[in-house]
Amino acid sequence: MREYSALSLIRNAFRGNTDWKPVWRKAEPKPAYDVIIVGGGGHGLSTAYYLASEFGITNVAVLEKGWLGSGNVGRNTTAVRSNYLLPENNRFYEFSMDLWENLSHELNYNVMFSQRGCLNLAHTPAQLDDYARRGNALRHEGIDSELMTPAEIAREVPALDMTRSARFPILGGLMQRSAGTARHDAVAWGYARGADRLGVDIIENCEVTGFLRDGDQVTGVQTSRGEIRAAKVAVAVAGHTGEVMKLAGIDRMPIESQVLQAFVTESLKPFLDTVLTFGMGHFYVAQSDKGGLIYGGALDGYNSYAQRGNLPLVEEVMSEMLALFPSLASVRLLRSWGGVTDMSMDGSPIITTGPLPGMYLNCGWCYGGFKATPASGFCFAHTIARDEPHPLNAAFSLDRFHRGAVIDDKGQGATPNLH
């Protein structure tokens, strides 16, 4: 799999870049596989890669109804962090961070992981106390966390409005230095290439239209390209989980699908070298390698499968950005997009066997899907291969909502749109 190197770049430069191989094969579906993964996003592709690389299961098909990168893996704000409060979440996301740190080397593909840090701003004494609590919980788990003073923040991000007359004065913040960003489409392409090189079939433009069953047992899928059978069928389709599960006869799921918008400005000179979040509203921002500001905010607030948002939310996000950076008032918005998020009842994911025999489910990522890509794929692959959860995803079961064992990291209760 090792074909990308400085030497290969030089060699291809002299040959007119004519010797590069396709990143993955355009596979045709076979009649049957050991495992079918429905969904060719980051989670589906990483699952296929780890099934092959960690568990030796290579007779795998990844079915994507469009092209790779057309879903949420190419429609996010690229933040990677593990600064969660509850141990089930911070241990899981810290494992993901460990995988991120070596991912480019492992895949021999530059996913552009940049550990530039993530700074959560506090604007009230109570919020600063809450961040101190969260930071202590992280440090208790051995995860880096640093409570910062206003003076330290001013040196870190000098463009912030740190004056006392600011609409929302900044009283401090919580920094995780190991956090950062990665290139979303490079992650999809890197995992696709890695899985393909290990023998996995990646089949694009192959929409699942139904499930094959023998009684309750799932035995395969019906697709726009014919029937494909498998001993195990895994579903990782994010915000379209409800639609796909209905094809299997499951009408109710503990998730809602809502639109989450993201935005990019015109290119600017470098002035923000960390991921920044606003404490008095839902706003987060980072500066890309191309100079544009990548930022987003809250959900649009209504259930939808549309990959587009509404203008009131655009106005809200812009006003929150200007509350922090008044100097950006004349910067032009370059483009925006929407992703369909799968909001769980408690804000934590679902990685589990079932709900039918022969079926495996990965969903409920809320705002955390991109940063979880490596750990999600690794733990889901373990669950599929061993028919039991990995210790890191054992708590992310589907029946926890029946048992009352919710993992409510934000303390918002059973309200999906607030997570």
Tell me which DSSP letter residue 292 carries. Answer: P
What is the share, in percent, of the chain residues with pLDDT greater than 90? Answer: 88
Q: For residue 194, give Cα distances in angstroms to 42, 119, 187, 377.
A: 12, 33, 11, 13
- For residue 176, give the nearest of 134, 141, 138, 146 by alpha carbon: 146
CA 346 – CA 411 distance, rounded (Å): 8
Average pLDDT over residues 226-251: 96
Provide the phi-psi class of 301: left if phi over 0, else alpha when psi is between -120 and 50, else beta.
left
Structure tokens at 307: 């990959």
What is the rounded average pLDDT for all residues in the chain?
A: 95
Would you state the pLDDT for residue 70? 86
pLDDT at 400: 95
Query: What is the reported pLDDT for 69?
Result: 87
| pLDDT at residue 1 greater than cutoff 60 | no
Per-residue pLDDT tens digits for 349-375: 999 998 999 999 999 999 989 999 999
CA distance 360 to 211: 13
Within 8 A by CB and 6+ apart from 188, the residues are 41, 42, 45, 68, 69, 73, 74
> In whole angstroms, what is the distance from residue 270 CA to residue 289 CA?
9
Instruction: Report the DSSP pairing between strands 226-235 and 32-38.
Output: parallel
Q: What is the pLDDT of residue 313?
A: 93
Residue 306's pLDDT is what? 87
Q: What does the pLDDT read at residue 132?
A: 97
**For residue range 269-326, what is the model confidence (pLDDT) as tens digits?**
999 999 999 999 999 999 999 999 999 999 998 999 988 889 999 999 999 999 999 9
Per-residue pLDDT of 125-165, as tens digits, reads 999 999 999 999 999 999 999 999 999 999 999 999 999 88
pLDDT of 378 above 80: yes
Around Cβ 337, how many Cβ atoms within 10 Å?
A: 16
Check residue 256 and give its pLDDT.
Answer: 95
Q: Given this model, what pLDDT does residue 225 score?
A: 96
The single residue listed with the structure tokens 């992703």 is 339
CA angle 128, 180, 144 (to 5 degrees): 55
96-126 pLDDT, tens digit per residue, is 999 999 999 999 999 999 999 999 999 999 9
Q: What pLDDT, on the 0 to 100 scale, is given for residue 214?
A: 96
pLDDT, tens digit, for every residue of 49-95?
A: 999 999 999 999 999 999 998 888 988 999 999 999 999 999 999 99
pLDDT of residue 412: 87
pLDDT value of residue 21: 85
pLDDT class for 2, splitting at 50, 70, 90?
low
pTM value > 0.75:
yes
